[in-house]
Structure 1
Amino acid sequence: MKVEFKSDIAVVWVIMGIFMILASATIDYKIPEISTDILTTLVAAQTTIFAIVFSVVVVAVQLSTSRYSPRVVGLFKSDKEYKTTIGIFGVSILFSLSTLYVSEIVGKTTLSFLVFGSGWFAGFAFIALYHFVDKILEQTTPEGILDRIEETLEPNDIVKKAEEAADSTKNDPYLVPVSIINSSITDQDTPAVCRGLRIIGSSTENLIKEENITELDNDGQVKNSLEELCANRLPNTIKKAADTGLQQESSSGLSSLEKVGKAAAKENLETTTLYSLQGFGKVISTLEFDKASEEVRGDAIEKSGNVIAEAVENDCFKAAGSGIRVLAIEASNSIETRDSTQNNLFHYSILTMKIIPETFDDLLSKKEDGISEQYIDWTHGLDHSTTDNGQKMSTEIRSLWYCYTSLSQITSAHIRYEEKSDSRQVNWGFVAEGWAKGFRFLTNSDLDLLLQLWLGTILYLDYLRFESVNHVMKNGNIMIRIDPSDELLSSTYDSILSGEIDPQYHIDNLQLGSDHVSDISISTSPRPVTDRDCSFEEYIENKIERDCAEI
């Protein structure tokens, strides 16, 4: 549109300029005698047409704002052609008025030249006005609005608007586009919603890939805009589409979130990658439990796994580990809020059987060899090598710990759901396979104490299954899926009884809190399977006695 506008104006400018020169040099000099009438008519015509046309434009803009969002006005005001057209028309009218003013004091030749110049300016202004109105009317359609959005979401424009948004009177660069998409969801305009979400995803991906933009992980307005987009705006839009029954539109939003997360991971932008995973977590947690929403939830879990895999591949260990934790907490919250009729738990199995174990395996393959576990507290995620009270583990080791705690978190949520709802809808075979995979991966590593904690947790789950009078965890026998050595079992028993590891901790206590990257907060809800005939330690001692008797 811009190229056509400029080329047409240039052609008209040249043609009318040549005509003016030839006409003013050859035409009969009767023009000065009627110059006043010509100029008066020209000014009146320009003023009238200008007023009528802009009144129509104002009405069109008002209709757009009522349909989409009041913030759409900003798109029209920021259009450079809007200011250019007003400027051209103003100059044209001013030139005609000036000519009329000096018509009594200039010579005939000069007056003829000025009259033709006024006509030339008027023609030029009308052509400019035509193109402007045509563009404005096109922008009142969904396609035109989206074209305009695409123009305003160039990387440099996003950065500029994000920095301007530090002033509360300015809008965040993503505020208007998301508002328009939400309005299109209300209208159930599938093509507009899907295209708008694709534009946001592609534009943000281009922003991340820009070579001159290297500070996205540092504090600043661009970072704040990306956080708001990934952690709030897109998840809210995806949920709105799902609540409206627009599954395709929800999938488009998830694809945009995935695109942003993977692009950030490839550029090693840990914080931005984590923002996208927080967005996925919010979708998983807040969606309803109808059939369409369950499908969207499954899609969100699948796509979040792709982002985590990309993060591990590009050594974004903090984002991968913290992201796993985010997903586990939000998935657990979603499971906890269900009642007995909302029993479609299949999609959470993607986390327990696939995403968490595979991420755990990838992280194990990336860790350095020969890491000493002497001062590591795997139960609480602390490293006591430098301080008495302990400090956080290194990023790589902590990401492994997050995988363990996340699998424990979701498993605990499943147990609590079965107890609360008295429903046996959990596929414990999937959960058991996730624990078995992790155990097999650990047996090939040098993390002996973590292996003991992992096996100890499997033993604790076996104990809960044994103690449950309501047959919780039916078909969830993990021990039959693994083959620990006698030596490993013996060392694990010793570590449990001595208190060196506590496999009960993350099953009995749920992780809560909205700030998923900070330290854990623990729930005060009762531990699962509260009615127990013996303690876990007694159960372990009995197993030791039985093993000794068999020998």
Structure 2
Amino acid sequence: MDNRSLPRWAAIIGLPLFIISTILVASFGQSISTNGTDILTILASTQAAIFAIVFSVVILSIQLSVSGYSPRLVNLFRKNIAYRFTAGLFAVSIGVDVFGLYLFAEQDSFVYETYLCGAGALAASAMVNLYLFVDRILYQSTPEGILNRINDRLSPEWTAQQARRSDEDSIERDPYQLLISVIDSAIEDRDGPTVSQGLDVVSERIRSLLTNTCSDAMGSESAVNASIEDLCTDRLPALLEHTTKNNQEEQSKEVIECLDTIGKSGIDREHELVTGYSSQGLSRPIESLGYSELEDRVRIDIIGTNRELLVEAAEAEYWEAADTGIRLLGWRVAQSITNRSAQYARDTGYTSVQTLSIPKIHSRAVRECSSRTSDENIDWQRGEDGDFNDLFPYENTLRGCYFAMCEITSAAIRNEIKTGASVVDWSHVAAGWRSCLDDLRDSNLESLFQLWLGTVLYIEYLQSETDREVLSGFNRVSIQMGFRSNIGETAVSIQNGVVRPRTQIDYIPGRFNPTEMPLTGFSSQPVSDPDTTFSDWLVLQGGMSGDGEFV
């Protein structure tokens, strides 16, 4: 029953009672006015006592809900229309009783009898209304009732209005804050059904908001956009970390699914920013989670979900979302690899980023750039920070793919040198590099092709300079790929400084946020004391002729 139906029920009950009792008094000549004072006194005292007792129980119920979930639930009940109507109806009913004691004292008339009938009908109506109100409040004190109440309130109009209030006044709460608090408390209590229902509310309400809100109102500077960004990049990832910490794998998957649903809704409703926020939120736990078997299983699920979302974003030509997403995914994976010890040396989806995520996005971006870009004047790997934003979004996505591939590869090399154990399958990683090179060889992006091929050569060089067997399976991958005819020209470009394949590999991985400081880093070659320089190694690879070709 809707709270707004209580006034209707009060009228349905009170009006017929008043009419029936008045007719009975008139028809049978019953004189109740002689006991009117007693009747009104009993009505007033009884209603006051019942009202006080029942509302004490209601307040206790609300207090238990507040202590179990969130203190902010008080406002949810305080602003309840049924609460105000019920309290008002009782106040009016008691007031009518008291007023009648003074107005018609010791009178014997039909008017007084009618008044007594009306007071009795009003009292009966207030009692029934109180019962319905208490029943509703008790239901709303349950997890299901609380979530349904929040769901009813989170209309697109209210959400947008509350987001603006929160943006303008720090005292006002974000529209999703209460909902997330309830879900978080349910996670702590291991209340799986409530967590599932709460996340369904999040997904459904975001989808409704995107469907019913125009693009202008969802601009990058809007309060609604800021609210969704905070939800996707902070609140939901925090829930995911909480569920995993509490060993609630099923609930962790549900949070991942919620973020994925929001991201795909952004694609369906043409809100690219929302898709980007969802991908960013999925990236954060990759680094923040620990390395237990449960956490690694969740990490694999996160990486796979994020990969599919970013590929869909690229297919939809949401290049900014794809660029930001792949850079952050590579950065978070590199952080996770860097912090992984030999005790937990296992591949938990890292390889899939280099074999599935990056190549698929790269392939789509190459197709876009091949028809629209001439890379003669583009520095794909370096330059001043100000130059970063001068590229078109799909060009930035290409550069982002290269940066992400290098950062993950560098982290995996360093971790293997440090621990003696590999966390990636190097033969599969090589297949990822091959796939990207195949795409570039068939395009007109010659300088970018040389950069990728030169980086493969540098990785082979690092493998040759290690004291122990590392990068097993990556050996001579460039020649196996059938690029021998391109190696000589690439080597000359490296020697002349036109192509600088060492830059991104030598950067210490996992340090600077690549979306905030994309062209910045501290250099430290993975092999600290090589016997041969990279330049000399290139010459030693079968020898180079005077024309710069391998012989």
TM class by shorter-chain length? over 0.9
Letter in 2 for 1:2: D
1:24·1:112 contact (CA, 8 Å) conserved in 2?
A: yes
Deviation at 1:206, TM superposition (A): 1.4
Listed as ranges, the matches of 1:389-468 within 5 Å are 392-468=390-466
CA distance in 2: counterparts of 1:513 and 1:48, whole angstroms: 67
Deviations, residues 492-514 of structure 1 (Å, cap 9, x unaligned): 12211111111111111035567
User: 1:510 matched to which residue of 2?
Assistant: 508
1:364·1:400 contact (CA, 8 Å) conserved in 2?
A: yes
Deviations, residues 54-105 of structure 1 (Å, cap 9, x unaligned): 1001111111122112222222123222222222222222222222231139
CA distance in 1: counterparts of 2:7 and 2:299, whole angstroms: 48
Deviations, residues 416-447 of structure 1 (Å, cap 9, x unaligned): 11112122343112211111111111122211
Letter in 1 for 2:2: K
CA distance in 1: counterparts of 2:305 and 2:260, whole angstroms: 6
Give the root-mean-square deviation of aligned CA atoms.
2.4
Deviation at 1:196, TM superposition (A): 1.0
CA distance in 1: counterparts of 2:173 and 2:29, whole angstroms: 58
CA distance in 2: counterparts of 1:550 and 1:400, whole angstroms: 29
User: 2:84 matched to which residue of 1?
Assistant: 83
Deviation at 1:455, TM superposition (A): 0.7
SS at match of 2:376: coil
SS at match of 2:468: coil
Query: Residue 431 and residue 6 in structure 1: after superposition, are their counterparts in 2 closer, same or farther (change >3 A)?
Result: farther
Listed as ranges, the matches of 1:71-110 within 5 Å are 71-104=72-105, 108-110=109-111
1:418·1:426 contact (CA, 8 Å) conserved in 2?
A: no
The size of the alignment, in residue pairs, is 546
User: 2:229 matched to which residue of 1?
Assistant: 227
Deviation at 1:392, TM superposition (A): 3.1
1:217·1:270 contact (CA, 8 Å) conserved in 2?
A: no
Query: Residue 26 and residue 168 in structure 1: after superposition, are their counterparts in 2 closer, same or farther (change >3 A)?
Result: farther
2:541·2:550 contact (CA, 8 Å) conserved in 1?
A: no
User: 1:297 matched to which residue of 2?
Assistant: 299
SS at match of 2:373: coil
Deviation at 1:524, TM superposition (A): 3.2
TM-score normalised over the length of structure 1 = 0.93
Structure 1 ranges of 4+ moved more than 6 A:
547-550
Letter in 2 for 1:131: L
SS at match of 2:343: coil
Deviations, residues 83-128 of structure 1 (Å, cap 9, x unaligned): 2222222222222222223113987222222211111111111122
Q: Percent identity of the aligned residues?
A: 32
CA distance in 1: counterparts of 2:414 and 2:404, whole angstroms: 15
Query: Residue 363 and residue 27 in structure 1: after superposition, are their counterparts in 2 closer, same or farther (change >3 A)?
Result: farther
Deviation at 1:211, TM superposition (A): 4.2
Listed as ranges, the matches of 1:6-155 within 5 Å are 8-23=9-24, 25-104=26-105, 108-155=109-156
Listed as ranges, the matches of 1:74-473 within 5 Å are 74-104=75-105, 108-166=109-167, 167-212=169-214, 214-367=216-369, 369-380=371-382, 392-473=390-471
SS at match of 1:499: coil
Query: Residue 379 and residue 514 in structure 1: after superposition, are their counterparts in 2 closer, same or farther (change >3 A)?
Result: closer
Query: Residue 284 and residue 520 in structure 1: after superposition, are their counterparts in 2 closer, same or farther (change >3 A)?
Result: same
Letter in 2 for 1:11: I
Deviation at 1:144, TM superposition (A): 1.8
CA distance in 2: counterparts of 1:179 and 1:427, whole angstroms: 41
SS at match of 1:165: helix
Deviation at 1:341, TM superposition (A): 0.6
SS at match of 2:469: coil
Deviation at 1:370, TM superposition (A): 4.5
Letter in 2 for 1:112: E
TM-score normalised over the length of structure 2 = 0.93
Query: Residue 154 and residue 8 in structure 1: after superposition, are their counterparts in 2 closer, same or farther (change >3 A)?
Result: same
CA distance in 1: counterparts of 2:534 and 2:512, whole angstroms: 32
Deviation at 1:490, TM superposition (A): 2.6
User: 2:474 matched to which residue of 1?
Assistant: 476
Deviation at 1:28, TM superposition (A): 2.5
1:460·1:536 contact (CA, 8 Å) conserved in 2?
A: yes
1:217·1:269 contact (CA, 8 Å) conserved in 2?
A: no
Stretch of structure 1 that moved more, 525-534 or 295-304: 525-534
Query: Residue 231 and residue 372 in structure 1: after superposition, are their counterparts in 2 closer, same or farther (change >3 A)?
Result: same
1:357·1:434 contact (CA, 8 Å) conserved in 2?
A: yes
Stretch of structure 1 that moved more, 498-507 or 72-81: 72-81
Query: Residue 140 and residue 523 in structure 1: after superposition, are their counterparts in 2 closer, same or farther (change >3 A)?
Result: same
Query: Residue 438 and residue 86 in structure 1: after superposition, are their counterparts in 2 closer, same or farther (change >3 A)?
Result: same
Letter in 1 for 2:203: G
CA distance in 2: counterparts of 1:84 and 1:547, whole angstroms: 93
Query: Residue 160 and residue 542 in structure 1: after superposition, are their counterparts in 2 closer, same or farther (change >3 A)?
Result: same
Letter in 2 for 1:132: F
1:382·1:391 contact (CA, 8 Å) conserved in 2?
A: no
1:305·1:355 contact (CA, 8 Å) conserved in 2?
A: yes
Letter in 1 for 2:351: S
Query: Residue 485 and residue 465 in structure 1: after superposition, are their counterparts in 2 closer, same or farther (change >3 A)?
Result: closer
2:6·2:82 contact (CA, 8 Å) conserved in 1?
A: no
Query: Residue 370 and residue 272 in structure 1: after superposition, are their counterparts in 2 closer, same or farther (change >3 A)?
Result: closer
Letter in 1 for 2:317: D
Gapped runs of 5+ residues in structure 1?
none
CA distance in 1: counterparts of 2:156 and 2:513, whole angstroms: 29
2:156·2:213 contact (CA, 8 Å) conserved in 1?
A: no
CA distance in 2: counterparts of 1:481 and 1:105, whole angstroms: 112
SS at match of 1:70: coil
Deviation at 1:371, TM superposition (A): 1.6
Deviations, residues 243-273 of structure 1 (Å, cap 9, x unaligned): 1110010111111111111112333323322
Stretch of structure 1 that moved more, 99-108 or 346-355: 99-108
Deviation at 1:29, TM superposition (A): 5.0
Deviation at 1:310, TM superposition (A): 2.5
Query: Residue 439 and residue 17 in structure 1: after superposition, are their counterparts in 2 closer, same or farther (change >3 A)?
Result: farther
Deviations, residues 356-378 of structure 1 (Å, cap 9, x unaligned): 11111122223361522121001
Deviation at 1:18, TM superposition (A): 3.2
